[in-house]
């Protein structure tokens, strides 16, 4: 009997090992799939422009339809930008939502494209669709009309035409949110490196900010059309320039004629930290004046800067329930002789107003589509619930009228005392032991 018990445990252990190997192979077979986004892209295009300066943002939109291809938890979708575009904010992440506001995936922007990692929200659904809006820049330094070619499904392509123009501005400004609740503002003065006499910069900070005294003023020069270098050491207050601070900003005047690029860096403190991650736009204004002399007529140029916690990348998606189942970058690098930075570009008041109007229209359209989709989903769910309830009532009625007056009696003996059920009991015990693994001994009572 002792020998039989050991043999029995050995057999159970062997069977458990085989079971685990089969389960492991099945799990590997269900590993996440990396989908090439181009194979499912039905349309793609540049949505703003057509004229862009090298530092300007080029908005692109992709629409994907996966049809009968399932999207499972952990699946990734990779989309490459057109060859002459690059991601504006490499490393930026954003969530992809469905019409009900449920997160269905998370995307990561790179220089060359985007990778979306999906969760289980679309599991078991068909006809999954995605719409992605992303911010890019022109990759090269030349100018003129360019074709932006997007690869589509079935080997097709879609082409958008853009026009790259030289930046003629003498002044520009950008902001970068810092982890400590401050904003680093950078003003580029004399971008075209022309001779500017009696140069003065008046800077005014926007709402919800507090000026932090202390600016750094550096001579600079362009390395490419979109990158510049700050030179060291920085200029000296009182020798190279004078500055006066006030509650709204500062007034800075240069003592000598300026004929090269100048970079002014300073910080403001966000006074309402709840706004930092809300998508709120912090603003700043700079006005440059120069010339005058004996004539008294000064030249003037203005630049507006803004920064937000949102980088403008977004995504939305949906899927049909299976009816068979019951929803702007700062890259300073210290080289020892100066720092290199990326041009944040410049935007006129007219360009800013036009962009914000487009953004407001886009948000309104998204909200309307979301509400309409929610209504449709609610109506569909109500219809399905009504059909299910009707089917349940029909089944209950049929069961109540089946074999009226008949009473059925089942055997109430315990399994271990029921001779007729002994074989089933042994088999059931064996399966339970396989599930639990080794170390369990089956004792059969004689």
- Domain residue extents for the chain: 34-166, 171-307
Q: Kindly report, residue by residue over 28-84, the tens digit of the pLDDT.
A: 445 788 999 999 999 999 999 999 999 899 999 999 999 999 999 999 999 999 999
Q: Span 34-166: which CATH code? A: 2.60.40.1280
Q: How many CB atoms lie within 10 A of CB 279?
A: 11
Greater confidence (356 vs 404) lies with: 356
State the alpha helices, DSSP H only, in 343-421.
Answer: 349-400
Sign of CA dihedral 289, 291, 293, 295: negative
With H, G, I as helix, E, B as strand and everything else as coil, classify residue 324.
Answer: coil
CATH architecture of 171-307: Sandwich (2.60)
How high is the mean pLDDT of the chain?
78
**What is the pLDDT confidence band of residue 119, given thresholds at 50, 70 and 90?**
very high
- C-alpha pair distances (Å), 406 with each of 107, 247, 394, 396: 63, 92, 21, 17
6-14, Cβ contacts within 8 angstroms, sequence gap of 24 or more: 8/442, 9/438, 9/441, 12/430, 12/433, 12/434, 12/438, 12/440, 12/442, 13/438
**What is the pLDDT confidence band of residue 99, given thresholds at 50, 70 and 90?**
confident
Structure confidence at residue 59 (pLDDT): 95
């Amino acid at each position: 009997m002792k020998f039989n018990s050991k043999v029995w445990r050995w057999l159970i252990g062997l069977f458990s090992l085989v079971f685990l190997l089969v389960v492991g192979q099945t799990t590997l077979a269900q590993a996440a799939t990396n989908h090439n986004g181009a194979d499912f892209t039905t349309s793609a295009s540049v949505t703003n422009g057509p004229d862009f300066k090298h530092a300007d943002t080029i908005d692109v939109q992709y629409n994907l339809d996966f049809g009968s291809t399932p999207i499972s938890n952990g699946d990734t979708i990779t989309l490459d930008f057109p060859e002459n575009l690059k991601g504006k904010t490499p490393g930026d992440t954003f969530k992809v939502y469905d019409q009900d506001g449920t997160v269905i995936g998370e995307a990561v922007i790179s220089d060359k494209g985007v990778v979306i990692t999906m969760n289980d929200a679309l599991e078991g659904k068909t006809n999954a669709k995605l719409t992605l809006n992303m911010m890019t820049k022109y990759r090269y330094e030349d100018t003129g009309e360019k074709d932006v070619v997007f690869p589509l499904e079935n080997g097709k392509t879609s082409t958008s035409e853009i026009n790259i123009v030289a930046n003629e501005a003498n002044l520009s400004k950008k902001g970068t949110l810092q982890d400590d609740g401050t904003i680093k503002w950078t003003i580029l003065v004399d971008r075209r490196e022309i001779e500017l006499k009696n140069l003065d910069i008046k800077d005014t900070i926007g709402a919800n900010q507090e000026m932090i005294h202390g600016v750094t003023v550096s001579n600079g020069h362009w390395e490419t059309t979109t990158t510049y270098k700050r030179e060291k050491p920085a200029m000296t207050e009182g020798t190279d320039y004078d500055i006066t601070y006030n509650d709204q900003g500062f007034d800075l005047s240069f003592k000598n004629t300026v004929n090269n690029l100048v970079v002014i860096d300073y910080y403001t403190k966000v006074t309402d930290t709840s706004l930092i991650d809300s998508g709120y736009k912090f603003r700043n204004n700079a006005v440059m004046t120069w010339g005058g002399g004996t004539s008294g007529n000064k030249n003037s140029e203005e630049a507006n800067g803004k920064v937000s916690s949102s980088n403008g990348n977004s995504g939305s998606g949906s899927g049909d329930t299976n009816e068979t189942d019951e929803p702007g970058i700062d890259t300073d690098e210290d080289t020892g002789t100066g720092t290199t930075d990326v041009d944040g570009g410049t935007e006129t008041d007219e360009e800013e107003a036009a962009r914000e109007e487009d953004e407001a229209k886009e948000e309104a359209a998204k909200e309307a589509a979301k509400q309409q989709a929610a209504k449709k989903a609610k109506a569909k769910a109500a219809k399905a619930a009504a059909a299910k309830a009707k089917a349940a009532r029909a089944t209950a009625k049929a069961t109540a009228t089946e074999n009226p007056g008949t009473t059925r009696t089942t055997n109430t003996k315990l399994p271990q005392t029921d001779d007729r059920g002994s074989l089933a009991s042994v088999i059931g015990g064996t399966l339970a032991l396989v599930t639990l693994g080794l170390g369990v001994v089956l004792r059969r009572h004689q």
